[in-house]
Amino acid sequence: MIYTQEDLMKRILDTKAVSIWNHQTGPIFWYAASIPGPFYVNTELTIGPELSAGLLKNITDICKEGPDARTRAEKLEALIMDAYEKDEIFKNVIETMAARIKSDFADGSFSLISGGERRDWLFSIPVAKLLGIKHAYLFKNGELYCAEPLAKGEIALHIADLINNAASYFDAWLPILQKADLGCIGTICINSRGSNGVDRLLANGQKVVALNSVDVAFFEKCQASGLIDAATLEELKVFFRSAKEWASTYVMDKPELFNVANIDTKSFERLQTFFTKDPWDLRASHQAFFTAMEAAIADRLKTAA
């Protein structure tokens, strides 16, 4: 089954592949840049939260097993293809991606699929199998492995779960392909978040296809379909217009939404960085709140010491 745009949108929200916070109760989401936001994207959940969690754990374990890339790749393929064959929704997602590849990329314009460690492999391995072409495993340590011979100058189509800022492309995946004398026509992903990463790839000569773009238009469609309410849509529009305005309107002076004492370690580190660096220059207009939050941060650090 090939998903329609509405089918995919509903699947993404139902599985919390895009998760929207409740601005009355929290919790705030913390992004890798140490800034807060009202939604978070975990694209792998599209194939199912339990299935993706189990697969990612096993992928991580396989990647730790040893230096032999061939053995790791064989185990990865067996793991993911076994899950794919047994799960109808997983098949639907992959078939949808394969259909877009056939419609958006000219026949013969690439000769292999590449996927990067770890989440890309959930999609790149079964898509390569479905299309009947070679798959190149790109490892974070800089290795590239393909079970079939690769000729210099072959062109890859990279498959990703998510394009955000495209840092992994420029820091890892494109340099690995270039080192192996392989080209890259572009990329296809399930979700793109914002335009920064997409714009970087386009400027680098890559063609970019996203099955879904997490932007204002996406959330407007969600609201029109009854998947989110008007108040949530308005908040999200504020965030896309100005993250600083969103923070001032929805989260500043509300310590209960930050839960400093009990949030997980990674989120706490990002929260601490946010209040230390004040990237949106909010301290001057919320001085008492910043002072209170810094005291709460200090209390947590003291307790942990």
Q: What is the pLDDT of residues 5-14, one digit of tens each?
A: 999 999 999 9
Instruction: Count structural domains, the chain.
Output: 2
* Residue 9 belongs to a domain: yes
Q: What is the pLDDT of residues 183-229, one digit of tens each?
A: 999 999 999 998 999 999 999 999 999 999 999 999 999 999 888 99
Supply the range of the domain harboring residue 197.
Answer: 77-214
CA 197 to chain CA centroid, Å, is: 11
Does residue 164 sit in the same domain as residue 111? Answer: yes
Whole-number Cα distances in Å, 123 to 65, 82, 170, 201, 279: 22, 13, 20, 20, 35
Q: What is the reported pTM?
A: 0.92
CB 53 within 8 A of CB 68: no
Q: How far apart are CA 90 and CA 61, in angstroms?
A: 22
Does residue 124 sit in the same domain as residue 245? Answer: no
Boundary residue ending a domain (199, 214, 229): 214
Tell me which amino acid residue 289 is.
F
Boundary residue ending a domain (176, 198, 214): 214
Q: What is the pLDDT along the chain (305 residues), one digit of tens a residue?
A: 999 999 999 999 999 999 999 888 888 999 988 999 999 999 999 999 999 999 999 999 999 998 899 999 999 999 999 999 999 999 999 999 999 999 999 999 999 999 999 999 999 999 999 999 999 999 999 999 999 999 999 999 999 999 999 999 999 999 999 999 999 999 999 999 989 999 999 999 999 999 999 999 999 999 998 889 999 999 999 999 999 999 999 999 999 999 999 999 999 999 999 999 999 999 999 999 999 999 999 999 999 87
Does residue 184 sit in the same domain as residue 285? Answer: no
* Residue 59 belongs to a domain: no
